[in-house]
C-alpha cells in the first residue's frame, strides 16, 4: 500500500480537494514510526496506510483520513497529542485523542467487553468519526491476526464479532461489518468456515449464478417494457450470515435460497414502487417478508423496499429496491451521510443525530452499572425492531418484545400515564401482551387516571417507558406529600 493510492482514491470521491495535508500526515507518521515493525515483519507505516485506505473506501472526510494515518502516534511513539495538534490542528488532534482513549481498556474477560462497548458509545456520542477510525484500525488488525499467538487471536476475533461488527451494522457501515465478520468467523469456527466456504464458493456457486441470471433476464425484460431505467446487481450474503441462518433455523444448505440478494437501482421513489409491482406480478410474494423501509426507514436511516418472492422453479429470491442515493447510504452508512459531529444538539448537524444515539445517551444516564447498561442497549437498540401502527396510521418502531405500555410511552407520556387498556388489531388485549410487527394498537385512556401503575415496571421492555414511569412515580409521591402538607414549601 502506498500513499499515492490513498490520495488518488480520495481525489476520485472529492475532485478538486487539496490533499497536501494527507501527504504531510504521511510524512509525519513515517518519521514517528521509523524503525518500528508490525508482528508480520512489515514496516509499521503499512498499518497506518491500510487504516487510512479503508477510510477512503467508505468515503470518510479529509480529517478522518488524516487522523487514520496518525492514530497510533501518541501511544506508540515519542510524539504526543500536542505535537499532532500543533501540526494538524485541533479537529484532527481530538479525533486521535478519541482513538487513544478507546484503546486504553484494562479490564479482563466479560468486564472488558462491557467496558469497551460503553466507551465506544460514549465516544460515538461525541464524534462518530472516532468509531469509523476504530473500525478501519480493527479491520487491518484482523487481516494480520495470523501473526499473533492463538489466545490473543481468538480474543480479538471474539471481541470484534460481539461488539465491533454489531455496532458497525447499527451505524449502517455494512461494508466493514461484513468484512470483519467473515475474518472472525474464519478464526473462531475454523471447521465450519472451511466446510461452508467450500460448499458456497465451489459446489453451489454455478447453480446460484444460473438462477440469478434467469431472474435478471425475466425481470429486465419487464422493466424495459415499463420504460423504467434500472441497474440490477446481485450480492451473495457473507459466509457468517449464512452460517447464522443455518444454525438458527437448523436448515440444510440446499434449502437456503436466500443466500443472495438481488438489488435493483432505479431513478426515483415512484419507480421503486413500480418495480415492486412488476416483481409481485411476475412471482408470488411471501407477504411476511415484505418490508417498506422507504415509508418507514430503519432507525439508522436505512431506506429500501425488501421483498422475497417465489421465483423461477418456486425457489425464493430476495429483492432490495432502492434509488442511487439510498444505495450509497446503505453501503457507507454514517460515513456517507454528513452527520458526524454530535455536540449535544448545539452544532449545525445536530438535527441529524439518529434517534437511537439519543436513546443510548438516555440509557447511559439512567443506568448505574455497566451490565444493566449493556443489557438495556442490547434490548433497545441491537434487538430487531417491529413496526406498530396507530389508528391514524402513524408508525412507531419499537424493539421486539415491546408491550402496549411501551408503545403508549413512545406515543406520549400522557397516553402512558392514563392507559387503562389496549386494543390490538381491534381486539381487547392485556397491557403486557407482546406486540407483533404490523400490529395496529390503540391505547384506551382515562383522563382521571393519576399516573402509572408500579406493576408495569415488571413487564415493560424499553428504557424509554421505564424512565418515564419512574419519573412519574416519583412525581406522584411528591404530589401526595404536597397534598397532605399543603403549606410547607
Select 106 or 447, whichever has its Cβ closest to Mn ion. Answer: 106
Select 48 or 342, whichever has its Cβ closest to Mn ion. Answer: 48
Q: Is 75 a catalytic residue?
A: yes
3-state SS assignment for residue 396: strand
Count CB-CB contacts under 10 A for residue 263: 18
Decide the pairing of beta strands 385-389 and 419-424.
unpaired
Shortest distance, position 51 Cβ to Mn ion, whole Å: 6
The three three-digit cell numbers of residue 303, written as one number: 431506506
Select 79 or 236, whichever has its Cβ closest to Mn ion. Answer: 79
Shortest distance, position 367 Cβ to Mn ion, whole Å: 31
User: Rounded to an integer, what distance in angstroms lies between the CA atom of residue 386 and that of residue 437?
Assistant: 5
Shortest distance, position 149 Cβ to Mn ion, whole Å: 18
Select 22 or 386, whichever has its Cβ closest to Mn ion. Answer: 22
Select 72 or 271, whichever has its Cβ closest to Mn ion. Answer: 72
Q: Which of residues 43-72 bind Mn ion (CB under 5 A)?
A: 72
User: Rounded to an integer, what distance in angstroms lies between the CA atom of residue 220 and that of residue 233?
Assistant: 11
3-state SS assignment for residue 225: helix
Shortest distance, position 92 Cβ to Mn ion, whole Å: 16
For residue 317, give the nearest of 325, 309, 329, 305 by alpha carbon: 309
Q: Which of residues 223-282 bind Mn ion (CB under 5 A)?
A: none
Shortest distance, position 143 Cβ to Mn ion, whole Å: 12
Cβ atoms of residues 102 and 85 within 8 Å: no
Shortest distance, position 253 Cβ to Mn ion, whole Å: 37
Select 48 or 405, whichever has its Cβ closest to Mn ion. Answer: 48
The C-alpha torsion from 98 through 75 and 173 to 241, rounded to 10°, is -130
Q: Is 83 a catalytic residue?
A: no
For residue 193, give the nearest of 230, 239, 125 by alpha carbon: 239
What DSSP element (H or E) covers 284?
A: strand 284-285
What is the DSSP secondary structure assignment for residue 314, as one 8-state letter? G
Binding string, residues 69-88; x marks residues near Mn ion by CB under 5 A: ---x----------------
Count CB-CB contacts under 10 A for residue 27: 12
What sign has the CA pseudo-torsion 276, 277, 280, 283? negative
Catalytic-role residue among 76, 292, 366, 434: 76
Residue nearest to Mn ion (CB): 137
Select 8 or 36, whichever has its Cβ closest to Mn ion. Answer: 36
What is the DSSP secondary structure assignment for residue 321, as one 8-state letter? E
The three three-digit cell numbers of residue 138, written as one number: 480493527
Adjacent-strand bridge partners of 321: 264, 305
Q: Which of residues 105-144 bind Mn ion (CB under 5 A)?
A: 137
Shortest distance, position 137 Cβ to Mn ion, whole Å: 4
What DSSP element (H or E) covers 262?
A: strand 260-266
Tell me the number of residues near Mn ion by CB under 5 A. 2
- Enumerate the active-site residues: 75-76
Interface ranges with Mn ion (CB under 5 A): 72, 137
Amino acid at each position: 500500500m502506498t500513499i499515492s493510492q490513498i490520495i488518488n482514491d480520495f481525489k476520485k470521491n472529492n475532485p478538486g480537494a487539496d490533499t497536501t495535508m494527507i501527504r504531510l500526515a504521511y510524512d509525519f507518521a513515517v518519521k514517528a514510526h521509523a524503525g518500528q515493525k508490525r508482528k508480520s515483519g512489515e514496516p509499521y507505516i503499512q498499518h497506518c496506510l491500510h487504516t487510512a485506505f479503508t477510510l477512503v473506501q467508505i468515503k470518510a472526510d479529509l480529517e478522518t483520513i488524516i487522523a487514520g494515518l496518525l492514530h497510533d502516534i501518541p501511544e506508540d511513539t515519542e510524539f504526543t497529542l500536542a505535537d499532532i495538534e500543533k501540526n494538524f490542528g485541533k479537529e484532527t488532534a481530538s479525533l486521535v485523542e478519541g482513538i487513544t482513549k478507546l484503546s486504553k481498556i484494562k479490564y479482563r474477560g466479560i468486564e472488558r467487553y462491557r467496558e469497551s462497548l460503553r466507551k465506544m458509545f460514549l465516544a460515538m456520542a461525541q464524534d462518530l468519526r472516532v468509531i469509523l477510525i476504530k473500525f478501519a484500525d480493527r479491520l487491518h488488525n484482523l487481516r494480520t491476526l495470523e501473526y499473533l499467538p492463538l489466545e490473543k487471536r481468538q480474543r480479538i476475533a471474539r471481541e470484534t464479532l460481539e461488539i465491533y461488527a454489531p455496532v458497525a451494522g447499527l451505524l449502517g457501515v455494512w461494508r466493514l461489518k461484513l468484512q470483519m465478520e467473515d475474518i472472525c468467523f474464519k478464526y473462531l469456527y475454523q471447521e465450519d468456515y472451511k466446510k461452508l466456504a467450500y460448499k458456497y464458493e465451489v459446489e453451489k456457486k454455478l447453480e446460484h449464478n444460473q438462477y440469478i441470471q434467469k431472474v435478471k433476464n425475466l425481470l429486465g425484460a419487464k422493466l424495459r417494457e415499463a420504460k423504467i431505467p434500472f441497474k440490477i446487481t446481485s450480492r451473495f450474503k457473507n459466509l457468517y450470515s449464512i452460517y447464522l441462518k443455518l444454525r438458527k433455523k437448523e436448515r440444510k444448505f440446499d434449502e437456503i435460497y436466500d443466500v443472495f440478494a438481488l438489488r435493483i437501482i432505479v431513478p426515483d421513489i415512484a419507480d421503486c414502487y413500480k418495480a415492486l409491482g412488476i416483481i409481485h406480478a411476475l412471482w408470488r410474494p411471501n407477504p411476511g417478508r415484505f418490508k417498506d423501509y422507504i415509508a418507514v426507514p430503519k432507525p439508522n436511516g436505512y431506506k429500501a423496499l425488501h421483498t422475497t418472492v417465489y421465483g423461477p422453479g418456486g425457489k425464493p429470491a430476495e429483492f432490495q429496491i432502492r434509488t442511487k442515493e439510498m444505495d450509497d447510504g446503505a453501503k457507507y452508512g454514517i460515513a456517507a451521510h454528513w452527520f458526524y459531529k454530535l455536540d449535544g444538539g448545539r452544532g449545525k448537524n445536530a438535527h441529524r443525530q439518529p434517534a437511537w444515539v439519543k436513546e443510548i445517551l438516555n440509557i447511559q444516564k439512567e443506568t448505574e452499572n455497566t451490565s444493566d447498561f449493556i443489557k438495556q442497549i442490547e434490548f433497545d437498540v441491537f434487538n430487531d425492531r417491529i413496526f406498530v401502527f396507530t389508528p391514524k396510521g402513524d408508525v412507531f418502531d419499537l424493539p421486539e418484545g415491546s408491550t402496549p405500555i411501551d408503545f403508549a410511552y413512545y406515543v406520549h407520556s400522557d397516553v402512558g400515564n392514563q392507559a387503562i387498556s389496549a386494543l390490538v388489531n381491534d381486539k381487547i388485549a392485556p397491557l403486557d401482551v407482546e406486540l407483533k410487527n404490523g400490529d395496529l394498537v390503540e391505547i384506551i385512556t382515562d383522563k382521571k387516571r393519576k399516573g402509572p401503575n408500579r406493576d408495569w415496571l415488571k413487564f415493560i421492555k424499553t428504557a424509554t417507558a421505564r424512565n418515564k414511569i419512574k419519573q412519574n412515580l416519583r412525581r406522584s409521591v411528591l404530589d401526595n406529600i404536597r397534598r397532605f402538607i399543603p403549606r410547607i414549601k
